[in-house]
Chain A
Amino acid sequence: MSTRQTAYTTSGTETKALGKKFAGVLCGGDVVGLFGDLGAGKTTFVKGLAQGFGVRRVVKSPSFTLMNIHQTKHRGIKQLVHIDCYRLTNPNQLEEIGALEYFGRKDIVVIVEWAEKVKRLLPKKFLKVYFNIKKGDEREVRFG
């Protein structure tokens, strides 16, 4: 999905299923930035993605805790690091919470919500997923 692709979902369940499918194309060391407004489906997408990696624990929004680290049931990828930059106002704060240590490690996939706030600290080739709110529960999810 590194080439430009767009998907449309009509419910949270579908957004979750899309996340689960997306997990299949990720490799260890990948950093994925998620873009989109409050309620656009970012955390829902990550829930599906975590399911794809066999994460047992409930994936909750890290808006308050900023970073949640989940153990996976995947052979090559051992941890899913879920970061939320909702509250950050300065990209350097990402470094302050120790997040950069997880980037590019072969046994870890990192997901960053509100990636636009910390763009310049993310690895050059980070994957991007954009969420747009359409009519009602409809969402446009663009991979770029």
Chain B
Amino acid sequence: MLFWLIYNDFMLILGIETSCDETAAAVVEVKKGRFLSRANTVLSQINIHKKYGGVVPEIAARKHVKNIIPVIDQTLKRARVSPKNIDRIAVTTGPGLMTSLLVGSQTAKTLAFAWNKKIVPVNHLKAHLYANFLHNKKVIFPVVALIVSGGHTELILMRNATSFKKIGQTIDDAAGEAFDKVAQLIGLSYPGGPALAKLALGGDATAFAFPRPMLDADNFDFSFSGLKTAVRYAVEKSPRLTSPLKKNLAASFQQASVDVLVAKTVRAATVYKAKMLMLAGGVAANVLLRDTVTREAKKIKRPLLIPDFIFCTDNAAMIAVAGYFEKPVDWDKIIVDPNLEI
């Protein structure tokens, strides 16, 4: 009996993620409800995409095909785990690019069939939140969580580890998309977001009075399309895009975005009586956002979780953690859905 209990409390999960830019695999160990990433491999295609100024699906898919088996193989070796010790496979089934999602899911199905394992289909957005469960972090519910990435900006209420309720979202552009597009407007190359944040460091955030879209609206939705257009107007008004001007544009835009993101998250935490705040997604790596949300969470006396940098951007460790909470199914029950929502 004791043996059974101990056995049941230990799990090794192989996570696979190919929904967008990254070909990723990870092995996560679950022990007494705690999650440890034993190996986490992320092969970024950003350098390939840089040449083309965006995520190109054809290239993304092709590279995934070429890389997925070596990435999984290397991950298992680094985790010192043999396939027979894997308890289950977790794979992203949406949202994402159909062509990219299929590479990961077909690989997972093939391995599940060959190794005789069950698969857990994982929602990529929920997985971003599960990144906060990694490395012994204690989660106190209810949680109000902000997911910010290139494709998504959503506020989620979690009443327990498997209850997700969308309480707000962007009604047009995602925050990360706005960062990328504004970066292009001021002449930065892809991926624009991090470059824009870097440029903003030397700028004056009060130089331009950009709008704070929907800040006073009586809901938890966001809008970044108008903010992007406001930057465009400012660029057009300027006779020459000098270096200090670019810095000021970047800093002012970043401040406007962060102001709205943080204000709405904090307000949602109060309204929904959250005991904890969470940040997740690629834009959670943005330093101004991290600093501002940390300061504001302190003001309302709520603990805050932000994933380590490597677990903010797309990775497979978060997919593996999600795989612990969801129900495993047979390989032939896996269906991908590019428009999957929370």
Contacts and interface: CB of A to CB of B under 8 A. Distances in A.
B87 interface: no
Interface string B79-114: 000000000000000011111000000000000000
Nearest to B184: A38
A52 to B, nearest CB: 17
B338 A65 contact: yes
Contacts of A47: 172
A39 B177 contact: no
Interface residues of B, number: 35
A60 B53 contact: no
Contact of B99 (A58, A63, A68, A96): A96
Interface in A48-80: 58, 60-61, 63-69
A88 B56 contact: yes
B330 to A, nearest CB: 26
Nearest to A57: B341
Contacts of B211: none
Contacts of B185: 38
A87 B56 contact: yes
A63 B53 contact: no
A86 interface: yes
B61 interface: yes
Nearest to A67: B338
Interface in A70-106: 86-90, 92-93, 96-98
A133 to B, nearest CB: 8
Contact of A65 (B58, B95, B225, B226): B95
Given A67-B338, A87-B54, A89-B54, A97 B174 contact: no
Given A38-B184, A65-B97, A136 B177 contact: no
B179 to A, nearest CB: 11
Interface stretch (B228-236, B284-292, B317-325): B228-236
B55 A87 contact: yes
A12 B226 contact: yes
Contact of B53 (A43, A58, A87, A93): A87
Given A87-B53, A96-B58, A64 B99 contact: no
Nearest to A63: B177
Contacts of A86: 54
A38 B177 CA distance: 12
Please give me the 8 A-B residue pairs with the lowest Cβ-Cβ distance, nearest first. Answer: A87-B54, A64-B151, A39-B229, A96-B58, A39-B232, A89-B52, A93-B58, A61-B173
Interface of B: 20, 52-58, 61, 95-99, 150-151, 169-174, 176-177, 181, 184-185, 225-226, 228-229, 232-233, 338-339
8 contacts: A63-B177, A64-B20, A65-B95, A67-B338, A89-B52, A93-B57, A97-B98, A98-B99
Interface of A: 12, 38-39, 43-44, 47, 58, 60-61, 63-69, 86-90, 92-93, 96-98, 136
Given A63-B173, A97-B98, A97-B99, 6 more contacts: A39-B232, A58-B169, A61-B177, A65-B151, A66-B57, A89-B54
